[in-house]
């Protein structure tokens, strides 16, 4: 899987290098079209209610899961219009259409109640506000309306699948990214986007009601062509370009958002029951590194990052007769604190703007996964552990002064799978976990 992400990052970087040329002054004003792609993770909160009887009295058994995990890629087409407002400010409006294949598998009440659905193709209509940190580089924020048409929900109760129509999801999105002109009317854009959808529900055979509320994290990269009339103009140097060398050490501080997709398998030899879990949360990051510039336009470097994060999830189940309720069980888990050591290779599209790919070693701390039954105490399902793996990434860094730069980067972390004994017991009773993590980050770097 990580090989596919690496190929995407290298192709994107190669496209920018081949197409690079002198940037034009007025390319930020006017209409544009774009084509690109990306990768997304869903964190879908699910809740359900199962009607049954106990001593001829109706009982509703209800459950809630903070995160059901889903992953997949997408192809995107876009069109928009930008307007240079005044000074370095740019505003615009756009529409995107994602041909998506993000598939969510989820566990229902009890095994083997397993289901899945696809988020479906997504339409996004919104605006953006940007700031030109250099004549050819725009940092921006996006916002707007999102709509997706999911596939039917399929749930397998062991006797065969039951399908139901979920309808359409409607919601909003927020994002941030960077776009850089690479010449001859073309620009390269990278964006991290968070989409929150309103909850929708289905009813199955008047017995089970399932409710779904997806949150979608995507990283997207696109190549845009601008139809502005200034492609032949001389570059506007009202914002002086940075000409200092990239060679030397640096310190960084930043923040971002992460989504973890953890596949859990329980049972004899960790096989019969699969439980996909999604954790998400913010982080702050500190980094140290060293870059070396060679052949004028190329930069190679090494770095170490520490992300202070808390990616958590909670599950709960309870029974209610309409008057009183009783917790049946609840569980909690997550990830904390990720360390990464790696390198990067970049190309300077202008003296102050670096497009780069990155990769290296990652180590993440997984918390204890705990369970509480009937509201009594808390037991450990499986213990905490630090997991090793690898990461790949891609991003853009722009100098805003000789000693200060802004960096936006996406990383995909693939952690090793582990088989852990359940309830600290040896033998065949075990849980197999297979986690991966997606992060979007923005940092400020200082070069002495």
402 versus 328: the higher-pLDDT residue is: 402
Out of 22-31, 189-198, 230-239, 348-357, pick the least confident: 230-239
Give 242's DSSP letter: P
- pLDDT cut 90: percent of the chain above it: 27
Q: How far, rounded to the nearest angstrom, does the alpha carbon of residue 122 sit from its chain's CA centroid?
A: 16
Which long-range contacts link 373-378 to residues 24+ away (Cβ below 8 Å)?
Answer: 373/328, 373/329, 374/326, 374/327, 374/328, 374/329, 375/326, 375/327
Distances from the Cα of 125 to the Cα of 121, 145, 146, 328, angstroms: 14, 5, 7, 43
- For tokens 């009937």, name the residue: 374
Residues contacting residue 296 through CB under 8 Å, at least 6 positions apart: 348
Which pLDDT score, from 0 to 100, does residue 297 have? 87
**What is the predicted pLDDT for the residue at 52?**
58
Q: Which residue has tokens 């990434």?
A: 393
Q: How far apart are alpha carbons 134 and 399 in whole angstroms?
A: 8
Q: How far is CA 354 from the centre of its chain?
A: 22
Which tops the pLDDT comparison, 422 or 101?
Answer: 101
- 166's enclosing H/E stretch is none
Of 56 and 101, the structure prediction assigns the larger pLDDT to: 101
Query: Which secondary-structure segment (H or E) carries 14?
Result: helix 2-19
Q: Which residue has the higher pLDDT, 184 or 49?
A: 184
The 8-class DSSP code of residue 235 comes to: P
- What's the domain count of the chain? 1
Return the exposure string of 242-253: e unless at least 16 CB atoms fall within 10 Å of the residue's CB, then b: beeebeeebebe
Domain limits at 413? 2-446
Cα 345 to chain centroid, rounded: 23
Mean pLDDT of 154-159: 65
Least reliable range by pLDDT among 47-61, 103-117, 229-243, 258-272: 229-243
Would you list the DSSP string of 359-418? Answer: EEEEEEEEPPEEEEETTEEEEEEE--EEEEEEEEEEEEEEESSSSEEEEEEEEEEEEPPE
DSSP string, 79-120: EEEEEE-STTEEEEEEEEEEEE--EEEEE-SSTT-EEEEE--
Domain of residue 205, CATH code: 2.40.160.20
The residue ranking higher by pLDDT, 230 or 204, is 204
């Amino acid at each position: 899987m990580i090989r596919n992400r690496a190929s995407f990052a290298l192709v994107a970087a190669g496209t920018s290098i081949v197409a690079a040329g002198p940037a034009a002054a007025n390319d930020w004003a006017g209409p544009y079209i774009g084509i690109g792609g990306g990768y997304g993770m869903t964190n879908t909160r699910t809740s359900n209610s199962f009607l049954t009887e106990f001593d001829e009295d109706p009982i509703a058994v209800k459950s809630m899961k903070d995160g059901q995990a889903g992953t997949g890629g997408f192809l995107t087409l876009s069109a928009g219009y930008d307007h240079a407002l005044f000074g370095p400010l740019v505003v615009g409006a756009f529409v995107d259409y994602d041909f998506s294949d993000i598939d969510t598998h989820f566990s229902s009440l009890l095994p083997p109640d397993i289901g899945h659905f696809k988020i479906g193709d997504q339409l996004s209509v919104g605006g953006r506000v940007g700031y030109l940190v250099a004549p050819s580089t725009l940092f921006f924020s996006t916002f707007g309306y999102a709509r997706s048409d999911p596939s039917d929900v399929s749930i397998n109760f062991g006797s065969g699948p039951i399908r139901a129509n979920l309808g359409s999801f409607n919601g909003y999105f927020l994002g941030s990214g960077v776009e850089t002109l690479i010449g001859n009317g073309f620009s390269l854009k990278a964006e991290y986007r968070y989409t929150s959808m309103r909850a929708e529900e289905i009813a199955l055979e008047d017995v089970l009601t399932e409710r779904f509320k997806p949150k979608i994290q995507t990283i997207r990269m696109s190549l845009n062509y601008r139809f502005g009339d200034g492609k032949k103009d001389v570059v506007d140097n009202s914002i002086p370009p940075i000409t200092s060398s990239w060679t030397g050490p640096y310190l960084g501080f930043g923040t971002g958002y992460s989504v973890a997709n953890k596949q859990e398998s329980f049972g004899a030899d960790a096989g019969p029951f699969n439980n996909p879990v999604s954790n998400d949360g913010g982080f702050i990051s500190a980094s140290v590194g060293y870059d070396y510039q060679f052949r004028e336009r190329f930069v190679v470097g090494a770095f170490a990052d520490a992300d202070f994060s808390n990616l958590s999830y909670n599950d709960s189940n309870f029974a209610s007769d309409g008057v009183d309720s009783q917790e049946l069980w609840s569980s909690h888990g997550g990830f904390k604190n990720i360390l990464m050591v790696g390198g990067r290779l970049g190309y300077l599209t202008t003296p102050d703007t670096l497009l780069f790919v990155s990769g290296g070693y990652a180590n993440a701390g997984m918390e204890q996964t705990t369970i509480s039954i009937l509201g009594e105490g808390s037991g450990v399902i499986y213990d905490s552990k630090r997991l090793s793996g690898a990461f790949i990434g891609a991003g853009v860094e722009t100098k805003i002064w000789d000693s200060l730069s802004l960096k936006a980067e996406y990383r995909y972390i693939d952690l090793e799978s582990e088989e852990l004994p359940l309830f600290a017991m040896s033998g065949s009773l075990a849980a197999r976990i297979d986690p991966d993590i997606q992060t979007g980050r923005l940092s400020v770097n200082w070069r002495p």
